[in-house]
């Protein structure tokens, strides 16, 4: 039966990153664009003999051998470097279809000869062919040489300009040393003409570039129409991850369980699953495009984490589901591995789903949407209306007992005392005064705000703290 044929099932799912179908053989330029785009992305099949309604029409009275010769001529005349696709017939329920199957090429980037590489290099985004920008062309050229974007030297920045303490501190916390040789081994720095230079990976980890940031928003309802809270986190990647996680925690509900005499509070979405998704977003995003950043949106019904850049190096969703891993940012990945932020390559999705399954909550949806990776974590429906300020982002249980007095941990008390003495100081200034990291102070401030002990009046720069109790 036709319905059991693998190609038939693919056609019924519609055109995609790796599949396109046409009623008749496209004209020369159109055919060349599609084949080049497949070769630059994840490979794919162009199926001739299927109409727009996914009905199998076949090849009519076309001579198969003549079609093959015509395709070969178009590829030779219009595609560069040379493509070697497989051209064959698939017979589905007595209907003959012509399939042109292109595999991801090793001579990247591919382009059409008429306009040349800079003006006619195409990639596949979803079910469409898109002209590749200069950043994408550079990435394809690096892939041909088995190099990643973050391994490149940035000659506009000198090593002497940089404060390496955020990275050195993280290695110190893991009881690991980060000396010059280790910096070279991890490709955080490279030597050129007897001078040491920072790599793009080092600058990304330090948050040196403006586009290396995470934007977090809490929206009212299920759309982006109204903001309830909004934060933009910059600085080193480690601090960004911590701050983004704190933002998410601050806007998720807690549920309380009584086990014997012990009460346990857990978040509606397991934090290890969220942390894994954040790590993946930071580690695998496309940093070559300086106009985009990671966005986190919290709605009434979902937590959404969107990372710029589709699946790297020709991966498909099917590949990822099978555990195949391709590292887009080798320097960042190595550092994360050294710091034990990453356990095993290719196991992130399985771990996230397992965390959710263990917590008995709905599994998240992972998808490639155009040139973005998208995570959607379903939220547990609440009876309380957050938009009216009741239980806004924090489950009522977390504030239970506030009026009866709170046992403030010693390290958080230090931050509270500093705020009382200097209510005008920002979190970075408080961190400097206390000799704490900014991330630590932010975390303690979040705890104090969560327990309604302090509040911020005015902006970050010109406002001041008010001690409520």
Q: What is the mean pLDDT of the chain?
A: 87
Question: What local confidence, expressed as pLDDT, does residue 100 receive?
Answer: 96
pLDDT at residue number 315: 85
Model confidence at 463, pLDDT cuts 50, 70, 90, reads confident
What CA–CA distance (Å, rounded) separates 318 from 255?
A: 35
CA 296, 147, 317, 334 dihedral sign is negative
What percent of the chain stands above pLDDT 90? 62
Residue 272 has pLDDT above 70, yes or no: yes
- Give me the CATH topology for the region 401-467: Arc Repressor Mutant, subunit A (1.10.10)
Of 397 and 381, the structure prediction assigns the larger pLDDT to: 381
Confidence band of 382 (pLDDT split at 50, 70, 90): low
Give 422-444 pLDDT, tens digit per residue: 888 888 888 777 767 777 788 88
Fold for the domain defined by 2-131: 3.30.950
**pLDDT the model gives residue 405:** 53
Sign of CA dihedral 271, 274, 280, 281: negative
Residue 408 is predicted with a pLDDT of: 80
C-alpha angle with apex 67: 63 to 68, nearest 5 degrees? 120
* Residue 206: pLDDT over 80: yes
Inform me whether the pLDDT recorded for 243 exceeds 50. Answer: yes
Overall average pLDDT of the 406-420 stretch: 80
pLDDT exceeds 60 at position 398: no
Cα-based distances in Å from 167 to 66, 198, 213, 398: 62, 13, 17, 33
Would you state the pLDDT for residue 469? 62
Residue 302 has φ and ψ, to the nearest 5°, of -145, 160
CB 308 within 8 A of CB 371: yes
Contact 397, 265 (CB under 8 A): yes
Total-model pTM: 0.74
Mean pLDDT of 276-294: 93
- Four-way CATH pick for 214-386: 3.20.20.140, 3.30.70.1450, 3.40.50.740, 3.30.565.60: 3.30.565.60
Neighbours of 53 (CB within 10 A): 6
Confidence at residue 258, expressed as pLDDT on a 0 to 100 scale = 67
Mean pLDDT of 177-188: 96
- What average pLDDT does the segment 354-383 reach? 89
Question: What is the structure's pLDDT at 261?
Answer: 64
pLDDT at residue 385, as a whole number: 45
Extents of the domains making up the chain? 2-131, 149-205, 214-386, 401-467
pLDDT, mean of residues 279-286: 94
Asked whether 123 and 40 are in contact (CB, 8 A), the reply is yes
According to the per-residue pLDDT averaged within each range, which of 132-146, 185-199, 377-391 is highest?
A: 185-199
Residue 447: its pLDDT value, please?
82
What is the SS3 assignment for the chain? CHHHCHHHHHHHCCCECCEEEECCCCCHHHHHHHHHHHHHCCCEEEEECECCCCCECCCCCCCHHHHHHHHHHHHHHHEECCCCCEEEEEEECCEEEEEEEECCCCCCCCEECCCCCCCCCEEEECCEEEECCHHHHHHHHHHHCCCCHHHCECCCCCHHHCCCHHHHHHHHHCCCCCCHHHHHHCCCEEEECCEEEEEHHHHHHCCCCCCCCEEEEEECCCCCCCEEEEEEECCCHHHHHHHHHHHHHHCCCEEEEEECCEEEEEECCCHHHHHHHHHHHHHHCCCCCCCCCEEEEECCCEEEEEEECCCCCCCCHHHHHCCCCCCCCHHHHHHHHHCCCCCCCCCHHHHHHHHHHHCCCCCCEEEEECCEEEEEEECCCCCCCHHHCCCCCCCHHHHCCHHHCCCCCHHHHHHHHHHHHCCCCCHHHHHHHHCCCHHHHHHHHHHHHHCCCEEEECCCCCCEEEECC
């Amino acid at each position: 039966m036709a319905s059991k044929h693998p190609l038939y099932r693919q056609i019924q799912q519609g055109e995609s990153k790796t599949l396109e179908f046409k009623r008749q053989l496209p004209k020369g330029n159109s055919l060349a664009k599609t084949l080049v785009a497949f070769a630059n992305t994840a490979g794919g099949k162009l199926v001739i003999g299927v109409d727009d309604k996914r009905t199998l029409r076949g090849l009519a009275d076309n001579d198969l051998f003549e079609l093959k010769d015509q395709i070969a001529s178009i590829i030779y005349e219009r595609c560069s470097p040379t493509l070697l696709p497989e051209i064959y017939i698939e017979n589905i329920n007595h209907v003959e279809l012509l399939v042109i199957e292109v595999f991801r090429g090793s001579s990247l980037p591919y382009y059409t000869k008429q306009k040349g590489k800079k003006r006619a290099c195409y990639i596949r985004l979803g079910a469409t062919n898109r002209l590749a920008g200069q950043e994408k062309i550079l990435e394809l050229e690096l892939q041909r040489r088995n190099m990643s974007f973050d391994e490149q030297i940035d000659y506009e920045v000198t090593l002497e300009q940089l404060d390496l303490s955020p990275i050195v501190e993280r290695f110190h916390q893991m009881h690991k040393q980060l000396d010059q040789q280790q910096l070279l081994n991890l490709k955080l720095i490279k030597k050129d003409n007897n001078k040491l230079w920072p790599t793009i990976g080092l600058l990304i980890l330090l948050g040196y570039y403006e586009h290396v940031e995470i934007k977090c928003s809490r929206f009212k309802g299920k759309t982006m129409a109204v903001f309830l809270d909004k934060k933009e986190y910059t600085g080193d990647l480690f601090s960004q991850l911590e701050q983004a996680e704190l933002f998410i925690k601050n806007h998720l509900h807690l549920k309380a369980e009584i086990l014997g005499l012990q009460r346990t509070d857990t978040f509606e979405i397991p934090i290890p699953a969220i942390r894994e998704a954040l790590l993946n977003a930071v580690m695998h995003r496309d940093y070559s495009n300086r106009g985009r950043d990671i966005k986190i949106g919290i709605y009434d019904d979902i937590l959404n984490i969107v990372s710029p850049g589709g699946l790297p190096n020709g991966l498909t969703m099917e590949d990822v589901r099978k555990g195949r891993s391709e590292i887009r940012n080798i320097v960042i990945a190595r550092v994360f591995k050294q710091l034990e932020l990453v356990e095993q390559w290719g196991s992130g999705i399985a771990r996230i789903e397992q965390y959710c399954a263990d917590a008995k909550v709905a599994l998240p949806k992972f998808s490639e949407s155009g040139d973005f990776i998208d995570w959607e974590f379903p939220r547990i429906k609440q009876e309380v209306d957050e938009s009216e300020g009741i239980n806004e982002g924090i489950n009522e249980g977390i504030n239970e007992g506030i009026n009866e007095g709170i046992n403030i941990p010693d390290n958080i008390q230090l931050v509270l005392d500093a705020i009382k003495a200097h209510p005008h100081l920002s979190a970075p200034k408080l961190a400097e005064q206390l000799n704490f990291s900014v991330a630590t102070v932010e975390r303690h401030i979040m705890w104090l705000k969560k327990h309604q002990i302090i509040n911020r009046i005015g902006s970050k720069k010109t406002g001041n703290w008010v001690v409520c109790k």
